[in-house]
């Protein structure tokens, strides 16, 4: 196992301490979450999962982890998810696995969000990982042109056969190569104002706790803003 995968596994296993019997648990998507699902199945804790992608639902079926549709629960206790990048404020970029839309819906409906990552994901500012933007197929070329004009260096995500990748919800993804996002809040506001943009991969003020695998596992908590504390 590579160092990176070992760290993912360490973070995933450390997340088990936050899972208690009878919880409704949001289950993210990606290779780090796969390690978490395996640890969860092994620990045999009686939970029910709410999944964020077809891939995760499939993996739960293989591991006999019971899942329920998001609209059949009145709350989600905690969601465990990976991230592509996380900064010092615990804001992050997600969507490298094309699951950002459902991941954000599950995260926004969770009482607590915990991210599990390896050390390579932690950066002072966001932007070294291309920002995924999920868009409606109709008119995606117009958005692409707009992003190009703004210097976002967009790239339409494609499958191995060259066709555009289609998300679980039937949309396309445009990855924007921004390098350094000085003001993620302003960027999020701009993107949320564009017709045709369904969701973007900036997850701001969402993650409550990040678990970073490494020689020693590090756990960081987000300081809540005054408005959030009220």
Ligand X SMILES: O=C[C@H](O)[C@H](O)[C@H](O)COP(=O)(O)O
- Catalytic site residues? 103
Window 92-111: residues binding ligand X (CB under 6 A) = 94-100, 103
Contact predicate 119/88, CB 8 Å: no
Q: Least separation, in Å, of the C-beta of 148 and ligand X?
A: 24
* 146 or 218: CB nearest ligand X: 218
CB of residue 32 to ligand X, shortest distance in Å: 3
* Residue 30, marked binder: yes
| Least spacing, CB of residue 29 vs ligand X, in Å | 5
Place of tokens 């949320």: 192
- A 10 A CB-CB count for 230 gives 6
- The window from 42-50, 70-78, 82-90, 173-181 that contacts ligand X (CB under 6 A) reads 82-90
The residues near 189 (Cβ < 8 Å, ≥ 6 apart) are none
d(C-alpha 226, C-alpha 33), whole Å: 31
Which SS3 state, helix, strand or coil, does residue 138 take? coil
Q: Is 184 near ligand X (CB under 6 A)?
A: no
Q: Mask: binding to ligand X, 52-81, rule CB under 6 A, as x and -?
A: -----------------------------x
With a CB cutoff of 8 Å and minimum separation 6, the contacts of 105 are: 52, 70
Binding-site size, ligand X (CB under 6 A): 17
Which residue lies nearer to ligand X by CB, 94 or 154? 94
Cβ proximity to ligand X: between 103 and 175 the closer is 103
Select the span of 37-45, 65-73, 90-98, 104-112 touching ligand X (CB under 6 A). Answer: 90-98
Q: Which is nearer to ligand X, 159 or 227 (CB)?
A: 159
The phi, psi pair for 115, rounded to 5°, reads: -105, 140
Sole binder of ligand X in the list 16, 23, 31, 194 (CB under 6 A): 31
Rounded-to-integer distance, Cα 21 and Cα 197, Å: 38
**Kind and range of the H or E element at 65?**
none
Residue 97 CB, shortest distance to ligand X, in Å, is: 3
Phi, psi of 37 (to 5 degrees): -60, -40
Q: What is the DSSP string of 157-224?
A: -B-TTSSBP--TTS-EEEEE--S--S-HHHHHHHHHTSTTEEEESEE-S--SEEEE-SSS-EEEEPPP
Q: Among residues 9, 19, 24, 30, which is the contact residue for ligand X, using CB under 6 A?
A: 30
* Residue in 10, 11, 19, 32 binding ligand X, rule: CB under 6 A: 32
The residues of the shown chain that bind ligand X, judged by CB under 6 A, are 28-32, 81-84, 94-100, 103
């Amino acid at each position: 196992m590579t160092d990176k995968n070992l760290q993912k596994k360490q973070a995933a296993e450390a997340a088990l301490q936050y899972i208690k019997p009878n919880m409704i648990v949001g289950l993210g998507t990606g290779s780090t979450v796969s390690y978490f699902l395996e640890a969860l199945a092994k620990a045999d804790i009686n939970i029910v999962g709410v999944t964020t992608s077809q891939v995760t639902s499939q993996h739960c079926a293989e591991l006999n982890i019971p899942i329920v549709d998001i609209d059949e629960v009145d709350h989600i206790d905690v969601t465990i998810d990976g991230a592509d990048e996380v900064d010092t404020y615990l804001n992050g970029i997600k969507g490298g696995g094309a699951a950002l839309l459902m991941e954000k819906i599950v995260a926004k409906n969770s009482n607590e969000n915990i991210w599990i990552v390896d050390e390579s994901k932690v950066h002072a500012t966001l932007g070294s990982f291309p920002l995924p933007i999920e868009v409606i197929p109709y008119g995606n070329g117009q958005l692409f042109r707009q992003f190009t004009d703004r210097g976002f260096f967009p790239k339409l995500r494609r499958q191995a056969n060259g066709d555009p990748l289609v998300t679980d919800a039937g949309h396309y993804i445009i990855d924007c190569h921004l390098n350094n996002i000085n003001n993620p809040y302003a960027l999020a506001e701009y993107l949320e104002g564009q017709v045709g943009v369904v969701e973007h991969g900036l997850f701001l003020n969402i993650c409550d706790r990040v678990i970073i695998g490494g020689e020693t596992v590090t756990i960081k908590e987000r300081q809540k803003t005054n408005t959030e504390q009220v």
